[in-house]
């Protein structure tokens, strides 16, 4: 069961790296759309990783944690983009 949570944390790290890349590389006008793409990729990757584990116990909790954690991380990145031009 611990390996499943390590995969969830890896998804969060990927979302944080994607959010940082958007902050550094995207124009301020296109950042909201890019954040949405990073979130969609993180949610898709969460489903892929959790389905690959083929463990039914705690599946919904792990998917929810991965998706909502990625949403929270990208929300923070979005708030940073409001402060930093």
Q: What are the tens digits of pLDDT across the range 35-78?
A: 999 999 999 999 998 888 877 888 888 899 999 999 999 999 99
Least reliable range by pLDDT among 20-24, 25-29, 39-43 = 25-29
Q: pTM for the whole thing?
A: 0.86
Q: Is 54 left (phi over 0), alpha (psi -120 to 50) or beta?
A: left
Paired tokens of 41? 């990729």
E strand map for the chain: none
Q: Which domain holds residue 54?
A: 2-83
Alpha carbon distance 39, 61 (integer Å): 18
- When divided into structural domains, the chain yields a total of 1
């Amino acid at each position: 069961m611990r390996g499943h949570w390590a995969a969830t944390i890896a998804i969060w790290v990927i979302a944080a790296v994607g959010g940082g890349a958007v902050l550094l590389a995207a124009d301020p006008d296109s950042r909201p759309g890019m954040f949405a793409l990073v979130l969609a990729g993180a949610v898709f990757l969460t489903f892929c990783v959790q389905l690959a584990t083929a463990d039914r116990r705690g599946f919904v909790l792990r998917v929810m944690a991965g998706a909502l954690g990625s949403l929270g991380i990208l929300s923070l990145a979005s708030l940073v983009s409001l402060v930093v031009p």
